[in-house]
């Protein structure tokens, strides 16, 4: 803040209607800075505001981990799922990748468990009669999704047309139950049933 033309005393600032004044002398905490006519040294106020922000941040960090906070977030997601997904999809690809990288570094055990669960689910849903050729076809679909993601910059995934887990019917991990779609389409579909293709 430019203090050159500020009043020298609080009284002068009040008379002239100025919000600040500058004495040129240090405040009780040693700051040589402008002072608010109806308050304290601006540097002291910055320190107090910083404390307040940290306290607020600490509060929300604790609240977000609490049962009440988790429940509130879940309820908000249910009410605003489309808007939440749209905001997530609208983020730049670099931002999404950076967030995922940091999250993986912070919670490696979670991703290891998640990957193991997915592999076990696929393994349990793969019939013993699936041939090597059919398994190769499925691997090619996953490779295709990876390549499309690299080429287009948009996330592509392999979707089970009939979900592996569904309250009505559970699908199989077989070539004709797989398709490559965008992650956005996959999130919209969730575990809903769609028209199933016929086996070759």
pLDDT band at 178 (very low <50, low <70, confident <90, very high): very high
Please return the burial class of 163, using the count of CB atoms within 10 Å of its CB with bins 0-12, 13-18 and 19+: buried
pLDDT score recorded for residue 198: 45
Q: What is the pLDDT of residues 28-55, one digit of tens each?
A: 888 899 999 987 899 988 888 887 777 8
d(CA 135, CA 158): 14
Mean pLDDT across the chain: 86
Ramachandran assignment for 193, one of left (phi > 0), alpha (psi -120 to 50 degrees), beta (any other) = beta
What pLDDT digit, counting tens, does each position of 82-123 carry?
A: 998 888 888 887 888 788 889 889 888 988 898 898 889 899
Q: Tell me if residue 156 falls in helix, strand or coil.
A: strand
Q: Provide the whole-model pTM.
A: 0.48
1-24 pLDDT, tens digit per residue, is 788 889 999 999 899 999 999 999
User: Which whole number is the average pLDDT over 156-172?
Assistant: 87
Beta bridge partners of 158: 180
The pair of structure tokens assigned to 139 is 């691997």
Note the pLDDT of residue 114: 86
Q: How far is the C-alpha of 123 from the C-alpha of 143, rounded, in Å? A: 18
Find the range with the poorest average confidence among 76-80, 179-183, 188-192.
Answer: 188-192
Could you tell me which residues come within 8 angstroms of residue 8 by beta carbon, excluding any fewer than 6 positions away?
Answer: 21, 22, 23, 24
């Amino acid at each position: 803040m430019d203090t050159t033309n500020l009043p020298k005393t609080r009284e002068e600032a009040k008379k002239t209607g100025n919000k600040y004044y500058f004495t040129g002398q240090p405040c009780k905490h040693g700051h040589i800075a402008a002072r608010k006519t109806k308050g304290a040294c601006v540097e002291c106020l910055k320190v107090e505001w910083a404390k307040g922000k940290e306290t607020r941040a600490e509060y929300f960090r604790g609240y977000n981990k609490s049962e009440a906070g988790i429940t509130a977030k879940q309820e908000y997601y249910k009410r605003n799922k489309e808007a939440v997904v749209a905001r997530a999809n609208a983020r730049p690809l670099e931002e999404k990748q950076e967030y995922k990288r940091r999250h993986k570094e912070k919670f490696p055990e979670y991703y290891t468990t998640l990957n193991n669960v997915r592999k076990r689910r696929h393994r349990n849903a793969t019939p013993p009669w699936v041939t090597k050729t059919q398994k190769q076809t499925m691997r090619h679909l996953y490779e295709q999704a990876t390549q499309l993601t690299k080429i287009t910059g948009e996330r592509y995934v392999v979707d089970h047309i009939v979900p592996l887990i569904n309250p009505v019917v559970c699908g199989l991990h077989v070539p004709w139950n797989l398709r490559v779609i965008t992650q956005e389409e996959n999130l919209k579909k969730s575990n809903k049933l769609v028209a199933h293709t016929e086996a070759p």
